[in-house]
Amino acid sequence: MSQQGSRVEQITIGPFKRAHGQITLPGSKSISNRSLLLAALASGQTTLSNLLDADDTQIMRAALRQLGLTVEDQDETTCLVTGSGGRFPIREADLFMGNAGTAIRPLTAALVMQQGDYRLSGVARMHERPIRDLVDGLRQIGAVISYLGEEGYPPIQIHASTISIPEVVRIRGDVSSQFLTALLMALPLLAKEAIRIEVIGELISRPYIEITLKLMARFGVHVDSPDAHSFVIPAQPALQKGESVYRSPQSLLVEGDASSASYFLAAGAIGAGPVRVLGVGRDSIQGDVAFADALAQMGATITKGDDWIEASIPVSGTLRGITIDCTAIPDAAMTLAVVALFATGETRLNGIASWRVKETDRIAAMATELQKVGASIEAGSDYLVIRPPPVWQTPADGIDTYDDHRMAMCFSLAAFGPNPILINDPNCVAKTFPHYFAEFAQIARISA
Protein backbone atom coordinates (compact mmCIF):
# COMPACT_ATOMS: atom_id res chain seq x y z
CA MET A 1 0.00 0.00 0.00
CA SER A 2 1.17 3.54 -0.62
CA GLN A 3 0.38 7.03 0.65
CA GLN A 4 0.82 9.94 -1.75
CA GLY A 5 0.58 13.43 -0.25
CA SER A 6 -2.97 14.09 0.85
CA ARG A 7 -4.42 11.27 -1.24
CA VAL A 8 -6.21 8.39 0.41
CA GLU A 9 -4.33 5.16 0.92
CA GLN A 10 -4.19 2.93 -2.15
CA ILE A 11 -3.08 -0.54 -3.14
CA THR A 12 -1.97 -1.77 -6.57
CA ILE A 13 -2.46 -5.46 -7.27
CA GLY A 14 -1.95 -7.79 -10.22
CA PRO A 15 -2.05 -8.55 -12.97
CA PHE A 16 -2.58 -12.14 -11.81
CA LYS A 17 -2.44 -15.18 -14.07
CA ARG A 18 -3.52 -17.93 -11.69
CA ALA A 19 -5.42 -18.54 -8.47
CA HIS A 20 -4.68 -21.62 -6.42
CA GLY A 21 -4.78 -22.60 -2.77
CA GLN A 22 -6.90 -22.82 0.36
CA ILE A 23 -8.41 -20.17 2.63
CA THR A 24 -9.96 -20.47 6.09
CA LEU A 25 -12.81 -17.96 6.19
CA PRO A 26 -13.43 -15.45 8.98
CA GLY A 27 -16.69 -15.85 10.88
CA SER A 28 -19.95 -14.73 9.30
CA LYS A 29 -20.91 -11.13 10.13
CA SER A 30 -24.62 -11.96 10.03
CA ILE A 31 -24.26 -14.93 12.38
CA SER A 32 -21.78 -13.12 14.65
CA ASN A 33 -23.94 -10.08 15.38
CA ARG A 34 -27.15 -12.10 15.75
CA SER A 35 -25.38 -14.48 18.12
CA LEU A 36 -23.93 -11.66 20.20
CA LEU A 37 -27.37 -10.13 20.73
CA LEU A 38 -29.10 -13.44 21.43
CA ALA A 39 -26.39 -14.37 23.93
CA ALA A 40 -26.88 -10.98 25.62
CA LEU A 41 -30.65 -11.56 25.86
CA ALA A 42 -30.33 -15.14 27.12
CA SER A 43 -29.86 -16.54 30.59
CA GLY A 44 -26.45 -18.04 31.36
CA GLN A 45 -23.07 -17.65 29.73
CA THR A 46 -22.37 -18.31 26.06
CA THR A 47 -18.97 -18.91 24.50
CA LEU A 48 -18.97 -17.76 20.89
CA SER A 49 -16.08 -19.10 18.82
CA ASN A 50 -14.88 -18.19 15.31
CA LEU A 51 -16.62 -14.87 15.92
CA LEU A 52 -15.83 -12.27 13.28
CA ASP A 53 -13.27 -9.76 14.53
CA ALA A 54 -14.08 -6.68 12.45
CA ASP A 55 -15.56 -3.20 12.76
CA ASP A 56 -19.22 -4.25 12.67
CA THR A 57 -18.93 -6.89 15.37
CA GLN A 58 -16.77 -4.64 17.55
CA ILE A 59 -19.53 -2.03 17.31
CA MET A 60 -22.07 -4.57 18.57
CA ARG A 61 -19.79 -5.68 21.40
CA ALA A 62 -19.14 -2.08 22.44
CA ALA A 63 -22.87 -1.30 22.47
CA LEU A 64 -23.65 -4.34 24.62
CA ARG A 65 -20.94 -3.38 27.10
CA GLN A 66 -22.32 0.15 27.23
CA LEU A 67 -25.70 -1.40 28.08
CA GLY A 68 -24.19 -3.12 31.10
CA LEU A 69 -23.49 -6.55 29.63
CA THR A 70 -20.33 -8.50 30.39
CA VAL A 71 -18.73 -9.31 27.05
CA GLU A 72 -15.26 -10.77 27.50
CA ASP A 73 -12.92 -11.30 24.54
CA GLN A 74 -11.01 -14.52 25.21
CA ASP A 75 -8.95 -14.01 22.04
CA GLU A 76 -9.50 -12.39 18.64
CA THR A 77 -12.27 -14.79 17.64
CA THR A 78 -13.63 -16.15 20.94
CA CYS A 79 -15.97 -14.22 23.20
CA LEU A 80 -17.74 -15.06 26.48
CA VAL A 81 -21.08 -13.29 26.91
CA THR A 82 -22.91 -13.27 30.23
CA GLY A 83 -26.60 -12.99 29.42
CA SER A 84 -29.05 -10.54 30.96
CA GLY A 85 -32.10 -12.81 30.95
CA GLY A 86 -33.79 -10.36 28.59
CA ARG A 87 -33.36 -7.20 30.71
CA PHE A 88 -30.35 -4.99 30.05
CA PRO A 89 -28.86 -3.43 33.22
CA ILE A 90 -28.60 0.07 31.71
CA ARG A 91 -31.87 1.83 30.81
CA GLU A 92 -30.47 5.05 29.36
CA ALA A 93 -27.63 5.28 26.83
CA ASP A 94 -26.31 7.11 23.79
CA LEU A 95 -25.08 4.43 21.38
CA PHE A 96 -22.86 4.99 18.33
CA MET A 97 -23.48 2.26 15.75
CA GLY A 98 -21.06 3.27 12.99
CA ASN A 99 -22.37 1.90 9.70
CA ALA A 100 -23.34 -1.52 11.06
CA GLY A 101 -26.82 -2.37 9.82
CA THR A 102 -26.67 -5.83 11.40
CA ALA A 103 -26.13 -4.12 14.75
CA ILE A 104 -28.40 -1.05 14.80
CA ARG A 105 -31.54 -2.72 13.45
CA PRO A 106 -31.92 -5.74 15.77
CA LEU A 107 -30.59 -3.74 18.71
CA THR A 108 -33.24 -1.04 18.12
CA ALA A 109 -36.02 -3.62 18.52
CA ALA A 110 -34.39 -5.21 21.57
CA LEU A 111 -34.04 -1.78 23.23
CA VAL A 112 -37.74 -1.00 22.75
CA MET A 113 -38.45 -4.04 24.95
CA GLN A 114 -36.29 -2.59 27.75
CA GLN A 115 -38.65 0.34 28.40
CA GLY A 116 -35.77 2.76 28.70
CA ASP A 117 -34.44 5.83 26.89
CA TYR A 118 -31.84 5.25 24.21
CA ARG A 119 -30.33 7.29 21.40
CA LEU A 120 -28.83 5.49 18.40
CA SER A 121 -26.70 7.22 15.79
CA GLY A 122 -23.96 6.36 13.32
CA VAL A 123 -21.69 7.67 10.61
CA ALA A 124 -23.07 9.93 7.88
CA ARG A 125 -23.89 7.00 5.59
CA MET A 126 -25.86 5.27 8.35
CA HIS A 127 -28.02 8.40 8.54
CA GLU A 128 -28.87 7.81 4.86
CA ARG A 129 -29.89 4.17 5.35
CA PRO A 130 -33.63 3.70 5.95
CA ILE A 131 -35.07 2.49 9.24
CA ARG A 132 -38.68 3.65 8.80
CA ASP A 133 -40.14 0.19 8.16
CA LEU A 134 -38.72 -1.11 11.44
CA VAL A 135 -39.86 1.97 13.36
CA ASP A 136 -43.36 1.63 11.86
CA GLY A 137 -43.44 -2.02 12.92
CA LEU A 138 -42.37 -1.17 16.46
CA ARG A 139 -44.85 1.69 16.74
CA GLN A 140 -47.63 -0.87 16.19
CA ILE A 141 -46.77 -2.39 19.58
CA GLY A 142 -46.69 0.99 21.35
CA ALA A 143 -43.06 1.99 20.92
CA VAL A 144 -42.38 5.71 21.10
CA ILE A 145 -39.52 6.50 18.71
CA SER A 146 -38.46 9.93 17.46
CA TYR A 147 -36.37 10.79 14.43
CA LEU A 148 -33.60 13.20 15.39
CA GLY A 149 -32.72 14.10 11.81
CA GLU A 150 -34.40 13.26 8.54
CA GLU A 151 -37.73 11.45 8.85
CA GLY A 152 -37.31 7.71 8.30
CA TYR A 153 -33.57 7.57 9.00
CA PRO A 154 -31.22 7.43 11.99
CA PRO A 155 -30.36 8.98 14.34
CA ILE A 156 -33.32 7.95 16.45
CA GLN A 157 -34.43 8.34 20.06
CA ILE A 158 -36.25 5.48 21.80
CA HIS A 159 -38.43 6.60 24.71
CA ALA A 160 -39.71 4.47 27.57
CA SER A 161 -43.21 3.32 26.66
CA THR A 162 -45.91 0.81 27.47
CA ILE A 163 -45.91 -2.09 25.03
CA SER A 164 -49.11 -3.77 23.86
CA ILE A 165 -49.15 -6.51 21.23
CA PRO A 166 -51.86 -6.23 18.54
CA GLU A 167 -53.48 -9.24 16.89
CA VAL A 168 -51.05 -8.98 13.98
CA VAL A 169 -47.77 -7.06 13.66
CA ARG A 170 -47.12 -6.05 10.05
CA ILE A 171 -43.83 -5.07 8.48
CA ARG A 172 -42.59 -4.42 4.97
CA GLY A 173 -40.06 -6.88 3.62
CA ASP A 174 -38.97 -5.33 0.33
CA VAL A 175 -36.28 -2.93 1.56
CA SER A 176 -34.29 -5.02 4.04
CA SER A 177 -34.85 -8.39 5.69
CA GLN A 178 -33.03 -7.01 8.75
CA PHE A 179 -36.24 -5.24 9.84
CA LEU A 180 -38.08 -8.56 10.08
CA THR A 181 -35.06 -10.15 11.77
CA ALA A 182 -35.17 -7.40 14.40
CA LEU A 183 -38.84 -8.08 15.22
CA LEU A 184 -38.39 -11.85 15.25
CA MET A 185 -35.52 -11.65 17.74
CA ALA A 186 -37.13 -9.08 20.06
CA LEU A 187 -40.82 -10.01 20.24
CA PRO A 188 -40.35 -13.35 22.06
CA LEU A 189 -39.40 -11.24 25.10
CA LEU A 190 -43.10 -10.23 25.27
CA ALA A 191 -44.79 -13.39 23.99
CA LYS A 192 -47.09 -14.26 26.89
CA GLU A 193 -49.45 -15.22 24.09
CA ALA A 194 -48.64 -16.18 20.51
CA ILE A 195 -47.55 -13.26 18.32
CA ARG A 196 -48.19 -13.21 14.59
CA ILE A 197 -46.01 -11.22 12.20
CA GLU A 198 -47.09 -10.66 8.61
CA VAL A 199 -44.79 -9.37 5.88
CA ILE A 200 -46.25 -6.77 3.54
CA GLY A 201 -45.16 -7.19 -0.07
CA GLU A 202 -42.09 -9.09 -1.20
CA LEU A 203 -39.70 -10.52 1.39
CA ILE A 204 -36.20 -10.08 0.01
CA SER A 205 -33.15 -11.98 1.26
CA ARG A 206 -35.26 -14.81 2.71
CA PRO A 207 -32.12 -16.90 3.44
CA TYR A 208 -31.06 -14.29 6.01
CA ILE A 209 -34.37 -14.84 7.81
CA GLU A 210 -33.59 -18.56 7.88
CA ILE A 211 -30.30 -17.72 9.61
CA THR A 212 -32.25 -15.75 12.22
CA LEU A 213 -34.75 -18.54 12.84
CA LYS A 214 -32.08 -21.23 13.13
CA LEU A 215 -30.05 -19.17 15.61
CA MET A 216 -33.14 -18.37 17.68
CA ALA A 217 -33.81 -22.10 17.85
CA ARG A 218 -30.28 -22.65 19.18
CA PHE A 219 -31.22 -20.29 22.02
CA GLY A 220 -34.48 -22.14 22.73
CA VAL A 221 -37.10 -20.13 20.80
CA HIS A 222 -38.78 -21.82 17.84
CA VAL A 223 -40.80 -19.77 15.35
CA ASP A 224 -43.43 -21.22 13.02
CA SER A 225 -43.80 -20.02 9.43
CA PRO A 226 -47.16 -21.26 8.12
CA ASP A 227 -46.59 -19.56 4.77
CA ALA A 228 -43.97 -17.45 3.00
CA HIS A 229 -45.22 -14.17 4.49
CA SER A 230 -46.31 -15.19 8.01
CA PHE A 231 -44.35 -15.95 11.17
CA VAL A 232 -45.83 -17.05 14.49
CA ILE A 233 -43.91 -16.76 17.74
CA PRO A 234 -45.52 -19.24 20.15
CA ALA A 235 -46.46 -18.20 23.68
CA GLN A 236 -43.41 -18.51 25.90
CA PRO A 237 -44.18 -20.41 29.16
CA ALA A 238 -40.98 -19.00 30.67
CA LEU A 239 -42.57 -15.55 30.87
CA GLN A 240 -45.37 -16.85 33.10
CA LYS A 241 -42.72 -18.17 35.48
CA GLY A 242 -40.66 -14.99 35.44
CA GLU A 243 -37.83 -16.79 33.66
CA SER A 244 -35.72 -15.92 30.64
CA VAL A 245 -37.16 -16.71 27.22
CA TYR A 246 -33.79 -17.26 25.59
CA ARG A 247 -31.50 -19.87 27.12
CA SER A 248 -27.80 -20.14 26.44
CA PRO A 249 -26.64 -23.13 24.40
CA GLN A 250 -23.38 -22.71 26.38
CA SER A 251 -21.29 -22.63 23.22
CA LEU A 252 -21.82 -21.73 19.59
CA LEU A 253 -19.43 -22.03 16.65
CA VAL A 254 -19.90 -19.27 14.08
CA GLU A 255 -19.76 -20.49 10.48
CA GLY A 256 -17.28 -18.98 8.08
CA ASP A 257 -18.64 -16.02 6.13
CA ALA A 258 -20.30 -17.22 2.92
CA SER A 259 -20.32 -13.72 1.42
CA SER A 260 -16.54 -13.51 1.90
CA ALA A 261 -16.20 -16.97 0.35
CA SER A 262 -17.54 -15.56 -2.92
CA TYR A 263 -14.35 -13.61 -3.71
CA PHE A 264 -12.08 -16.64 -3.37
CA LEU A 265 -14.43 -18.98 -5.21
CA ALA A 266 -14.68 -16.43 -8.00
CA ALA A 267 -10.88 -16.24 -8.13
CA GLY A 268 -10.78 -20.01 -8.53
CA ALA A 269 -13.20 -19.84 -11.46
CA ILE A 270 -11.42 -16.93 -13.15
CA GLY A 271 -7.86 -17.97 -12.37
CA ALA A 272 -7.97 -21.71 -13.12
CA GLY A 273 -7.94 -22.84 -9.49
CA PRO A 274 -8.63 -24.92 -7.68
CA VAL A 275 -9.34 -22.62 -4.76
CA ARG A 276 -10.93 -24.16 -1.67
CA VAL A 277 -12.62 -22.20 1.13
CA LEU A 278 -12.91 -23.77 4.58
CA GLY A 279 -15.67 -22.91 7.04
CA VAL A 280 -18.79 -23.26 4.87
CA GLY A 281 -20.08 -26.25 2.97
CA ARG A 282 -23.12 -28.03 1.64
CA ASP A 283 -24.90 -27.85 5.03
CA SER A 284 -24.33 -24.14 5.66
CA ILE A 285 -27.23 -22.11 7.09
CA GLN A 286 -26.18 -19.10 4.97
CA GLY A 287 -27.97 -18.33 1.74
CA ASP A 288 -24.88 -16.87 0.11
CA VAL A 289 -23.45 -20.37 -0.41
CA ALA A 290 -25.79 -20.32 -3.44
CA PHE A 291 -23.16 -18.09 -5.04
CA ALA A 292 -21.26 -21.28 -5.84
CA ASP A 293 -24.30 -22.55 -7.77
CA ALA A 294 -24.35 -19.29 -9.74
CA LEU A 295 -20.69 -19.83 -10.65
CA ALA A 296 -21.59 -23.33 -11.78
CA GLN A 297 -24.27 -21.83 -14.06
CA MET A 298 -21.52 -19.68 -15.56
CA GLY A 299 -19.56 -22.85 -16.27
CA ALA A 300 -17.21 -23.12 -13.29
CA THR A 301 -16.43 -26.51 -11.78
CA ILE A 302 -17.75 -26.59 -8.19
CA THR A 303 -17.30 -29.31 -5.58
CA LYS A 304 -18.60 -29.26 -1.99
CA GLY A 305 -17.91 -31.03 1.27
CA ASP A 306 -19.46 -30.75 4.72
CA ASP A 307 -17.46 -27.64 5.58
CA TRP A 308 -15.70 -26.65 2.37
CA ILE A 309 -16.40 -25.53 -1.19
CA GLU A 310 -13.96 -25.57 -4.09
CA ALA A 311 -14.01 -23.77 -7.43
CA SER A 312 -11.90 -24.21 -10.52
CA ILE A 313 -11.88 -23.27 -14.19
CA PRO A 314 -14.63 -24.71 -16.41
CA VAL A 315 -13.80 -27.69 -18.59
CA SER A 316 -14.36 -25.46 -21.63
CA GLY A 317 -11.89 -22.96 -20.21
CA THR A 318 -14.42 -20.14 -20.59
CA LEU A 319 -17.08 -18.68 -18.30
CA ARG A 320 -20.36 -17.60 -19.88
CA GLY A 321 -22.73 -14.79 -19.02
CA ILE A 322 -26.05 -15.63 -17.35
CA THR A 323 -29.31 -14.01 -16.30
CA ILE A 324 -30.03 -14.64 -12.63
CA ASP A 325 -32.44 -13.53 -9.91
CA CYS A 326 -30.22 -12.35 -7.04
CA THR A 327 -32.98 -11.59 -4.51
CA ALA A 328 -31.71 -14.34 -2.19
CA ILE A 329 -27.98 -13.48 -2.51
CA PRO A 330 -27.74 -9.67 -2.64
CA ASP A 331 -24.24 -9.39 -1.14
CA ALA A 332 -22.64 -12.22 -3.12
CA ALA A 333 -24.33 -10.96 -6.28
CA MET A 334 -21.89 -8.05 -6.28
CA THR A 335 -19.10 -10.54 -6.89
CA LEU A 336 -20.95 -11.87 -9.94
CA ALA A 337 -20.86 -8.37 -11.42
CA VAL A 338 -17.06 -8.48 -11.53
CA VAL A 339 -16.92 -12.14 -12.60
CA ALA A 340 -19.05 -11.03 -15.56
CA LEU A 341 -16.01 -9.09 -16.87
CA PHE A 342 -14.39 -12.45 -17.61
CA ALA A 343 -17.42 -14.18 -19.18
CA THR A 344 -18.50 -14.40 -22.79
CA GLY A 345 -21.76 -12.59 -23.52
CA GLU A 346 -23.74 -10.40 -21.18
CA THR A 347 -24.66 -11.06 -17.56
CA ARG A 348 -27.90 -9.69 -16.11
CA LEU A 349 -28.37 -9.47 -12.34
CA ASN A 350 -32.03 -9.05 -11.37
CA GLY A 351 -33.61 -8.46 -7.97
CA ILE A 352 -30.91 -6.19 -6.57
CA ALA A 353 -33.00 -3.17 -5.49
CA SER A 354 -31.63 -3.56 -1.94
CA TRP A 355 -28.17 -2.59 -3.24
CA ARG A 356 -29.29 1.04 -3.24
CA VAL A 357 -29.67 1.19 0.57
CA LYS A 358 -26.50 -0.65 1.56
CA GLU A 359 -23.18 0.87 2.62
CA THR A 360 -23.39 2.92 -0.56
CA ASP A 361 -25.72 2.94 -3.58
CA ARG A 362 -24.16 -0.21 -4.92
CA ILE A 363 -25.97 -0.20 -8.26
CA ALA A 364 -24.62 3.26 -9.09
CA ALA A 365 -21.18 2.49 -7.66
CA MET A 366 -20.84 -0.80 -9.54
CA ALA A 367 -22.00 0.76 -12.81
CA THR A 368 -19.45 3.57 -12.49
CA GLU A 369 -16.46 1.41 -11.57
CA LEU A 370 -17.16 -1.42 -14.05
CA GLN A 371 -17.23 1.15 -16.85
CA LYS A 372 -13.79 2.36 -15.78
CA VAL A 373 -12.25 -0.97 -16.88
CA GLY A 374 -14.11 -0.86 -20.21
CA ALA A 375 -17.32 -2.77 -19.54
CA SER A 376 -20.62 -1.72 -21.10
CA ILE A 377 -23.28 -1.29 -18.42
CA GLU A 378 -27.04 -0.93 -18.25
CA ALA A 379 -28.38 -0.08 -14.79
CA GLY A 380 -31.97 0.06 -13.57
CA SER A 381 -33.77 0.39 -10.27
CA ASP A 382 -33.37 -3.32 -9.50
CA TYR A 383 -31.05 -4.76 -12.13
CA LEU A 384 -27.61 -4.47 -13.67
CA VAL A 385 -26.48 -5.70 -17.09
CA ILE A 386 -22.74 -6.18 -17.65
CA ARG A 387 -21.08 -6.70 -21.03
CA PRO A 388 -17.37 -7.50 -20.74
CA PRO A 389 -14.81 -5.02 -22.05
CA PRO A 390 -13.74 -5.55 -25.67
CA VAL A 391 -10.51 -3.84 -24.62
CA TRP A 392 -9.55 -3.61 -20.95
CA GLN A 393 -8.91 -0.11 -19.64
CA THR A 394 -6.61 0.90 -16.79
CA PRO A 395 -8.19 3.75 -14.81
CA ALA A 396 -5.34 6.05 -13.83
CA ASP A 397 -7.19 7.31 -10.76
CA GLY A 398 -7.98 3.77 -9.64
CA ILE A 399 -11.16 2.04 -8.54
CA ASP A 400 -13.14 4.01 -5.97
CA THR A 401 -14.60 1.97 -3.12
CA TYR A 402 -17.10 4.43 -1.58
CA ASP A 403 -16.17 3.37 1.97
CA ASP A 404 -17.83 0.06 1.08
CA HIS A 405 -15.93 -3.08 2.02
CA ARG A 406 -17.59 -5.18 -0.68
CA MET A 407 -16.62 -2.78 -3.47
CA ALA A 408 -12.96 -3.16 -2.49
CA MET A 409 -13.09 -6.95 -2.24
CA CYS A 410 -15.08 -7.39 -5.46
CA PHE A 411 -12.70 -5.32 -7.54
CA SER A 412 -9.65 -7.22 -6.33
CA LEU A 413 -10.85 -9.80 -8.88
CA ALA A 414 -10.33 -7.29 -11.70
CA ALA A 415 -6.61 -7.84 -11.10
CA PHE A 416 -6.99 -11.09 -13.08
CA GLY A 417 -7.37 -8.91 -16.16
CA PRO A 418 -4.41 -7.89 -18.32
CA ASN A 419 -3.52 -4.79 -16.29
CA PRO A 420 -2.68 -3.96 -12.68
CA ILE A 421 -5.57 -2.54 -10.68
CA LEU A 422 -5.27 0.44 -8.34
CA ILE A 423 -7.83 0.28 -5.52
CA ASN A 424 -8.52 3.37 -3.44
CA ASP A 425 -9.12 3.20 0.31
CA PRO A 426 -8.54 -0.55 0.60
CA ASN A 427 -8.73 -0.35 4.40
CA CYS A 428 -12.51 -0.09 4.18
CA VAL A 429 -12.43 -3.92 4.23
CA ALA A 430 -11.94 -3.62 8.01
CA LYS A 431 -15.74 -3.51 8.28
CA THR A 432 -15.93 -7.29 7.82
CA PHE A 433 -12.56 -8.71 6.69
CA PRO A 434 -9.57 -6.69 7.98
CA HIS A 435 -6.94 -9.03 6.52
CA TYR A 436 -8.64 -9.56 3.17
CA PHE A 437 -5.84 -8.39 0.88
CA ALA A 438 -3.23 -10.44 2.75
CA GLU A 439 -5.46 -13.52 2.41
CA PHE A 440 -6.11 -12.77 -1.25
CA ALA A 441 -2.36 -12.60 -1.85
CA GLN A 442 -2.09 -16.17 -0.57
CA ILE A 443 -4.06 -17.57 -3.51
CA ALA A 444 -3.31 -15.09 -6.32
CA ARG A 445 -0.34 -15.85 -8.53
CA ILE A 446 1.54 -13.50 -10.87
CA SER A 447 2.61 -16.35 -13.18
CA ALA A 448 0.54 -19.20 -14.61
User: Which run of H or E residues covers position 213?
Assistant: helix 206-218
In a domain, 250, yes or no: no
Query: Cβ neighbours of residue 346 under 8 Å, at least 6 residues apart?
Result: 321, 340, 385, 386, 387
The domain containing residue 154 runs over which residues?
29-227
Distance of alpha carbon 79 from alpha carbon 225, whole angstroms: 32
If asked whether residues 74 and 199 sit together in one domain, one would say: yes
Rounded to an integer, the average pLDDT of 352-370 is 94
- What's the domain count of the chain? 2
Rounded to an integer, the average pLDDT of 107-123 is 97
If asked whether residues 160 and 85 sit together in one domain, one would say: yes
Residue-wise pLDDT for 222-272, tens only, equals 999 999 999 999 999 999 999 999 999 999 999 999 999 999 999 999 999
pLDDT computed for residue 315 by the predictor: 67
Distance of alpha carbon 51 from alpha carbon 334, whole angstroms: 24
Q: Could you say which of 177, 210, 227 is where a domain stops?
A: 227
For the chain, what is the radius of gyration of the CA atoms? Answer: 22
pLDDT computed for residue 384 by the predictor: 98
Distance of alpha carbon 245 from alpha carbon 220, whole angstroms: 8
If asked whether residues 33 and 22 sit together in one domain, one would say: no
Q: How far is CA 90 from CA 36, 63, 183, 235, in A?
A: 17, 11, 21, 27
If asked whether residues 268 and 367 sit together in one domain, one would say: yes
Which band of pLDDT confidence, cut at 50, 70 and 90, is reported for residue 314?
A: confident
In a domain, 310, yes or no: yes
pTM of the model: 0.91
Instruction: Look up 331 and say whether it is catalytic.
Output: yes
If asked whether residues 88 and 219 sit together in one domain, one would say: yes
Rounded to an integer, the average pLDDT of 401-405 is 96
In a domain, 327, yes or no: yes
pLDDT computed for residue 298 by the predictor: 97
pLDDT computed for residue 369 by the predictor: 98
If asked whether residues 270 and 190 sit together in one domain, one would say: no
Which band of pLDDT confidence, cut at 50, 70 and 90, is reported for residue 448?
A: low
Residue-wise pLDDT for 420-435, tens only, equals 999 999 999 999 999 9
Q: In what order do the strands lie in the sheet with 144-147?
A: 92-96, 117-121, 156-159, 144-147
If asked whether residues 22 and 41 sit together in one domain, one would say: no
The gap between the terminal CA atoms of the chain, to the nearest Å, is 24
State whether residue 246 is helix, strand or coil.
coil
Which band of pLDDT confidence, cut at 50, 70 and 90, is reported for residue 1?
A: very low
- State the pairing for strand pair 421-424/10-13: antiparallel
**121 strand-pairing partners:** 96
Distance of alpha carbon 328 from alpha carbon 287, whole angstroms: 7
Residue 311 has pLDDT above 70, yes or no: yes
Residue 152 has pLDDT above 80, yes or no: yes
Q: What is the CATH number of the domain that holds 282?
A: 3.65.10.10
If asked whether residues 15 and 66 sit together in one domain, one would say: no
Distance of alpha carbon 278 from alpha carbon 280, whole angstroms: 6
pLDDT computed for residue 4 by the predictor: 35
If asked whether residues 168 and 283 sit together in one domain, one would say: no
The residue among 7 and 367 whose pLDDT is bigger is: 367
Residue-wise pLDDT for 378-388, tens only, equals 999 999 999 99
If asked whether residues 316 and 403 sit together in one domain, one would say: yes
Task: Indicate the Cα dihedral angle 27, 33, 36, 39, nearest 10°.
Answer: -110
pLDDT computed for residue 397 by the predictor: 95
Q: 53, 56, 133, 331: which is the annotated catalytic residue?
A: 331
**308 strand-pairing partners:** 278
If asked whether residues 73 and 97 sit together in one domain, one would say: yes
In a domain, 202, yes or no: yes
The residue among 118 and 3 whose pLDDT is bigger is: 118
